[in-house]
């Protein structure tokens, strides 16, 4: 009876299913990785962002959109205006009905135009249904992925490195655990099974700046790029923060001195 | 204190027709304040400061925000990425809400410790509780506006609470939603109210200050000002002390804005709202957690006529409304816990109980957390309804100082 009542309350707060399914499930600590953008003085490493962008555009972009980032934003990675124009022009944008007076041309194909720097990254699929049809599940948009997961970049890194061929003992013996041969086991993914196969491997993308092309390095670089996609303001934010803090320190110290002076003769 | 004689003819001319200069004088240099206020008395002015920050950043955010379910999330992301200093405005507004609650909760516990709710400050205190209720409503509706997953599902859970009321419950919920689920009409009305309520808040803060200026500040001794030596003018003594407090507060506040902007937030709210997908954990903002724990603690039908859900809702509202009765529940003549050797400890137990309730509020609704919530919630009510009235009867207070100045002079002699 007591259990029933508890369940009723849990259900009414909409907390039930997952709250109870998640408690007691085995999730290891996130893998250790560090980035230049962490900490008080942290800044993005532009070279790393460019490496990460290369991985995104050559690997991730085949399935994952990056809807909130525009080609013009790539200037933050050190690309020149002309380079950005070229990158954008490689993609075609479907024209909405009306721009060309019709949706399809005489050959029955969509009217398109090359993308320009002001356009957002062109998604790999026309819509969610097409993406699901090809992938079996919806590959999430990556624009905010490091902000939208507990653990942020550390989670995304651990996830990328967390695919396993063998299900570990701790999970195998868990109550309610069911093997799923159709999907991919990932120790960090809530529910363990993910539709995406492992993507990270050594030399998956060629680096031109001499950085070792290990799987760990690739994963670090792509996560740095994704963190930039989610928080492009980070460099500006932290550098402005330092100036503001310095100003406030001086101001507050002066206010304190003034307070001492004004109160000097008041016993309190 | 009488109005000063204005020497400047222009000021004199204006003041005779609109006594704004006299008003300013009365509430600053002519306003007597206890000379012994500690830094705990900084949090009132800090709360007003936080409110002003919220209104200012909010006004600018609205210029770029679109209250529509299809565009709200995108418009917030546009503020974060493309609006000049939009990220700063939004992070200040987001973290400002948490700061406002931190400051106000400290302000409230200060009032509890030093008995600031007791006569003649009953109305001042009740207005404070009204301010807290308005803040909660405003904060809740503001959290819905970015239209992320937690916005949608938080709104769903909280608005659903009203369905617990018999007969009228479902009508209230439909009215709140403007339809049959949390959707675009809900977002629109919450946006409208989120812009309205802060101005109501300002008005009640005005009353709160009016009442304060009538009864004057309490102080750490809890002994009223009796003679001129007990007080000092608010300006310059407390204006400078408050300004210094604001400097410290700004550093604390902006540390989060610049380095940990999402510390108080839920990652799920960076996922656009999806009515077809319930997030695994629906957690309210941290400042609602103790009340959320009380809500969930009632898992049993009460007195056979009140179902558990209604009981929880009533308990949650009661836990706040109860505070309004505090001036009459506390029978002790002594205000400050400094002179209440026993009750002082109960104050700290209550404080710990509230923190514990906050911890329980973010735990899943399962054992052992349910029984812990029930005990902690029961203690919360017992504190106000049993311990507090009883203490007034049985506790022997330490002897009070004769006056503020006597105590202050004695302290400086001892030192």
Nearest to B278 among A14, A266, A268 (CB): A14
The answer on A55 and A184 residing in a single domain is: yes
d(CA A212, CA A215): 9
In a domain, A44, yes or no: yes
What was the pLDDT predicted at A111?
A: 85
- Enumerate the active-site residues of B: 213, 217, 241-242, 285
Last residue of some domain: A119, A151, A184? A119
In a domain, A213, yes or no: yes
Do A131 and A138 contact (CB within 8 A), yes or no? yes
B267 and A259 within 8 Å at the Cβ level: the answer is no
What was the pLDDT predicted at A99?
A: 59
Q: Is A138 on the interface with B (CB under 8 A)?
A: no
* Residue predicted with more confidence, B280 or B328: B328
A148 and B36 within 8 Å at the Cβ level: the answer is no
The answer on A153 and A37 residing in a single domain is: yes
List all residues of chain A from 43 to 102 with a beta carbon under 8 Å from chain B: 68, 73
Instruction: With beta carbons under 8 A apart, name residues in chain B contacting A21.
Output: 280
Q: Please tell me the distance in Å from B267's CA to the nearest CA on chain A.
A: 4
Task: Of A113-117, A160-164, B365-369, give the lowest mean pLDDT range.
Answer: B365-369
d(CA A174, CA B345): 45
* CATH number, domain containing residue A214: 1.10.760.10
The answer on A230 and A154 residing in a single domain is: yes
pLDDT tier for residue B334 given thresholds of 50, 70 and 90: very high
d(CA A74, CA A71): 6
Segments making up each domain of chain B, as ranges:
38-221+236-282, 292-415
The answer on A64 and A79 residing in a single domain is: no
Residue ranges making up the domain that contains A107: 70-119
d(CA B263, CA B337): 34
The answer on A48 and A161 residing in a single domain is: yes
Nearest to A267 among B243, B247, B412 (CB): B412
Q: Is A105 on the interface with B (CB under 8 A)?
A: no
In a domain, A87, yes or no: yes
What ipTM is given for this predicted complex? 0.91
Query: Pairing mode, if any, of strands A112-114 and A92-94?
Result: antiparallel
In a domain, A263, yes or no: no
The answer on A108 and A39 residing in a single domain is: no
What was the pLDDT predicted at A5?
A: 42
Whether the predicted pLDDT of B401 surpasses 60: yes
Instruction: With beta carbons under 8 A apart, name residues in chain A contacting B157.
Output: 13-14
Instruction: With beta carbons under 8 A apart, name residues in chain A contacting B282.
Output: 13-15
Summarize pLDDT for A38-60 with one digit per residue, the tens: 999 999 999 999 999 999 999 99
| CA distances (Å), origin B267, targets A144, A148, B151, B163, B287 | 10, 4, 11, 29, 17
A233 and B87 within 8 Å at the Cβ level: the answer is yes
The answer on A207 and A110 residing in a single domain is: no
Q: Say how many domains are in chain A.
A: 2
B237 and A266 within 8 Å at the Cβ level: the answer is yes
CA angle (B124, B126, B129) in 5-degree steps: 115
Q: Please tell me the distance in Å from A36's CA to the nearest CA on chain B.
A: 14
A252 and B251 within 8 Å at the Cβ level: the answer is yes
- Residue in A with minimal Cα distance to B220: A268
Q: Please tell me the distance in Å from B227's CA to the nearest CA on chain A.
A: 15
B267 and A147 within 8 Å at the Cβ level: the answer is yes
B35 and A267 within 8 Å at the Cβ level: the answer is yes
Whether the predicted pLDDT of A8 surpasses 50: no
3-state class of B137 per DSSP? helix
Cis-peptide, bond into residue B236, ω within 30° of zero: yes
Whether the predicted pLDDT of A32 surpasses 90: no
Summarize pLDDT for B208-235 with one digit per residue, the tens: 999 999 999 999 999 999 999 999 999 9
Q: What is the mean pLDDT of chain B?
A: 94
Q: Is A248 on the interface with B (CB under 8 A)?
A: yes
Radius of gyration of chain B (CA): 24
Q: Hey, what are B120's tokens?
A: 């003649």
d(CA B208, CA B225): 20
In a domain, A24, yes or no: no
d(CA B37, CA B49): 19
The answer on A49 and A166 residing in a single domain is: yes
The answer on A79 and A62 residing in a single domain is: no
| CA distances (Å), origin A264, targets A260, B237, B411 | 6, 10, 16
3-state DSSP of chain A: CHHHHHHHHHHHCCCHHHHHHHCCCCCCCCCCCCCCCCCCCCCCCHHHHHHHHHHHHHCHHHCCCCCCCEHHHHHHHCCCHHHHHHHHHCCEEECCCCCCCCCECCCCCECEEECCCCCECCCCCCCHHHHHHHHCCCCCCCCCCCCCCCCHHHHHHHHHHCECCCCCHHHHCCCCCCCCCCCEEECCCCCCEECCCCCCCCCCCCCCCCCCCCHHHHHHHHHHHHHHHHCCCHHHHHHHHHHHHHHHHHHHHHHHHHHHHHHCCCCC
The answer on A99 and A203 residing in a single domain is: no
Summarize pLDDT for B253-292 with one digit per residue, the tens: 999 999 999 999 999 999 999 999 999 888 899 999 999 9
In a domain, A247, yes or no: no
Average pLDDT over every residue of B5-28: 94
Q: Hey, what are B23's tokens?
A: 């008003």
A232 and B81 within 8 Å at the Cβ level: the answer is yes
CATH ID of B38-221+236-282, from 1.10.10.10, 1.20.810.10, 1.10.645.10, 3.40.50.1820: 1.20.810.10
Last residue of some domain: A58, A90, A119? A119
Q: Give me the percent of chain A exceeding a pLDDT of 70.
A: 90
3-state class of B264 per DSSP? coil
Summarize pLDDT for A51-105 with one digit per residue, the tens: 999 999 999 999 999 999 999 999 999 999 999 999 999 999 988 775 557 778 8
């Amino acid at each position: 009876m007591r259990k029933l009542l508890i369940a009723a309350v849990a259900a009414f707060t909409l907390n039930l299913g997952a709250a109870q399914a998640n408690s007691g499930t085995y999730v290891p600590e996130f893998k250790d990785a560090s980035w230049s953008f962490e900490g008080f003085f942290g800044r993005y490493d532009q070279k790393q962002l460019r490496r990460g962008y290369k991985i995104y555009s050559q690997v991730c972009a085949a399935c994952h959109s990056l809807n909130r980032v525009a080609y013009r934003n790539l200037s933050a990675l050190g690309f020149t205006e002309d380079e950005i124009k070229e990158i954008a022009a490689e993609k075609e944008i479907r024209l909405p009905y009306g721009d060309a007076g019709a949706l399809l041309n005489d050959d029955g194909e969509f009217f398109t135009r090359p993308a320009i720097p002001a356009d957002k990254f062109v998604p790999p699929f026309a819509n969610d249904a097409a993406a699901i049809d090809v992938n079996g599940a919806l590959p999430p948009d990556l624009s905010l992925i490091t902000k939208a997961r507990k653990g942020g970049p550390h989670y995304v890194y651990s996830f990328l490195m967390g695919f396993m061929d063998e299900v570990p003992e701790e999970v195998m013996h868990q109550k309610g655990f069911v093997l799923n041969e159709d999907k991919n086991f990932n120790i960090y993914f809530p529910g363990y099974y993910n539709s995406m196969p492992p993507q990270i491997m050594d030399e998956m993308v060629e680096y031109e700046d001499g950085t070792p092309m290990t799987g760990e390095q690739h994963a670090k670089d792509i996560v740095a790029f994704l963190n930039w996609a989610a928080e492009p303001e980070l460099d500006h934010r932290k550098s402005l923060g330092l100036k503001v803090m310095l100003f406030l320190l001086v101001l507050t110290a002066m206010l304190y001195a003034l307070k001492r002076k004004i109160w000097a003769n008041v016993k309190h | 204190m009488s109005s000063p004689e204005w020497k400047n003819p222009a000021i004199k001319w204006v003041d005779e027709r609109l006594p704004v200069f006299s008003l300013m004088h009365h509430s600053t240099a002519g306003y007597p304040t206890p000379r012994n206020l500690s830094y705990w008395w900084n949090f009132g002015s800090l709360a007003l400061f936080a409110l002003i920050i919220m209104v200012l950043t909010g006004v600018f955010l609205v210029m770029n925000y679109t209250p529509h379910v299809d565009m709200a999330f995108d418009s917030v992301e546009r503020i974060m990425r493309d609006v000049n200093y939009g990220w700063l405005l939004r992070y200040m507004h987001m973290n400002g809400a948490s700061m406002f609650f931190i400051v106000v909760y400290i302000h409230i516990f200060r009032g509890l410790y030093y008995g600031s709710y007791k006569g003649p400050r009953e109305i001042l205190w009740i207005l404070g509780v009204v301010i807290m209720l308005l803040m909660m409503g405003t904060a809740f509706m503001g959290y819905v506006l970015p239209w992320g997953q937690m916005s949608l599902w938080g709104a769903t859970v909280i608005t659903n609470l009203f369905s617990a009321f018999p007969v009228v419950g479902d009508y209230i919920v439909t009215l709140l939603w403007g339809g049959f689920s949390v959707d675009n009409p809900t977002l629109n009305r919450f946006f409208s109210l989120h812009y309205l309520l802060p101005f109501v808040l300002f008005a009640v803060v005005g009353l709160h200050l009016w009442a304060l200026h009538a009864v004057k500040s309490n102080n750490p001794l809890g002994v009223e000002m009796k003679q001129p030596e007990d007080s000092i003018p608010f300006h310059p003594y407390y204006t400078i002390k408050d300004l210094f407090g604001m400097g410290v507060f700004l550093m604390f506040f902006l540390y989060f804005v610049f380095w940990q902007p999402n510390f108080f937030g839920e990652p799920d709210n960076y996922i656009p709202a999806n009515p077809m997908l319930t997030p695994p954990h629906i957690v309210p903002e941290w400042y609602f957690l103790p009340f959320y724990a009380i809500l969930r603690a009632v898992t049993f039908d009460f007195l056979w006529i009140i179902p558990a859900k209604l009981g929880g809702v009533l308990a949650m509202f009661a836990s706040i409304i109860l505070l309004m009765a505090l001036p009459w529940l506390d029978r002790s003549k002594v205000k400050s816990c400094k002179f209440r050797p026993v009750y002082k400890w109960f104050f700290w137990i209550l404080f710990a109980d509230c923190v514990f309730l906050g911890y329980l509020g973010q735990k899943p609704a399962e054992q052992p957390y349910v029984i812990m919530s029930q005990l902690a919630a029961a203690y919360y009510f017992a504190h106000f309804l049993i311990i507090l009235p009883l203490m007034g009867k049985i506790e022997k207070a330490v002897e009070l100082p004769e006056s503020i100045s006597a105590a202050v002079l004695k302290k400086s002699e001892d030192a």
